Amino acid sequence: MANYKVLKNYNDKQLEKSLKAGDKVEMTIKRADEVEETLKSNGFDGPFLERIKEKK
């Protein structure tokens, strides 16, 4: 799982909640790609998520 910062508000049907800009969410990279593709195919301008790099 990867951590992401929400850049734009959107409703995530899989998580069953509304995510707002600035929220942090954990999801797989594949799921994050699906979110971006789905929203773009529905006419919304992205990006919606930004991956947060882990500090080691």
Nearest residue to 8 (alpha-carbon basis) of 39, 43, 40, 48 = 48
Prediction pTM value:
0.84
Q: What is the pLDDT of residue 22?
A: 96
**CB atoms near residue 4 (< 10 Å):** 21
Cα separation, 45 vs 43, in Å, equals 7
Cα separation, 56 vs 45, in Å, equals 33
Question: pLDDT at residue 46 above 80?
Answer: yes
Mean of pLDDT values over 24-50? 94
Question: 1: which DSSP letter?
Answer: -
